[in-house]
Amino acid sequence: FYRLSKYVIEDLEKLGIKLEVEEVSPRDYLKPETISRCHIFIGRWIADTGDPDNFLQPIFNYNNPTNFTRYNNPRVTDLMNMAKEIINPNKKVEIYKEIQNIIVEDCPWAFVFHPKTAIASRKGIVGARLSPLGIINYENILIESK
């Protein structure tokens, strides 16, 4: 997060916000006792399934230890729990849109970017597998002999 933090610091200082930066080891970075000393920190979350619940519950449900901001909106929690029980995909999408709108309005995070993944291929290279999540598995990669 070093480069990103420099950009954020520069932008906030342009707005007149003075920051005191405390560097911590990667091992200690997300420990609750470290985060509790912060007014602002840089974090990330990547959902490991295609279900929005897997993205929302860990970082926006107050009861989850990975909710590092300790964000707590009972309406969001109720809607997330409701969405888990709904089978109708259109109704589920509407609930997730409402959740998204509430979270953006509450602003517990400043969403900076979402990475995009690009994959290149080449004739003669085989065995690389792409998961539905965009994760590349190189365990069985081979170069075909001619």
Residue 11 sits at φ, ψ, to 5 deg, of -65, -40
Mean pLDDT score of the chain: 87
Distance CA 11, CA 15 (A): 7
- Cα 53 vs. chain centroid, distance in angstroms? 12
**Residue 108, CA distances (Å) to 39, 66, 71, 93 in order:** 11, 14, 6, 22
Q: Residue 4: pLDDT above 80?
A: yes
How many Cβ atoms from other residues are within 10 Å of residue 98's Cβ? 15
Tokens of 85: 């029980």
- pLDDT for 72 equals 97
User: Which residue ranges make up each domain of the chain?
Assistant: 1-43
- pLDDT for 112 equals 82
Give the pLDDT mean for 39-65.
85
Give the pLDDT mean for 124-139.
81
Q: Please report, as a single letter, which amino acid is at residue 5.
A: S
The pLDDT-based confidence of 80 (bands split at 50, 70, 90) is very high
Interacting residues of 59 by C-beta distance below 8 A, sequence separation 6+: 45, 66, 67, 68, 69, 71, 109
- pLDDT for 99 equals 98
- Location of structure tokens 């004739």: 123
pTM for the complete prediction? 0.71
- pLDDT for 92 equals 96
- pLDDT for 97 equals 97
The pLDDT-based confidence of 45 (bands split at 50, 70, 90) is confident
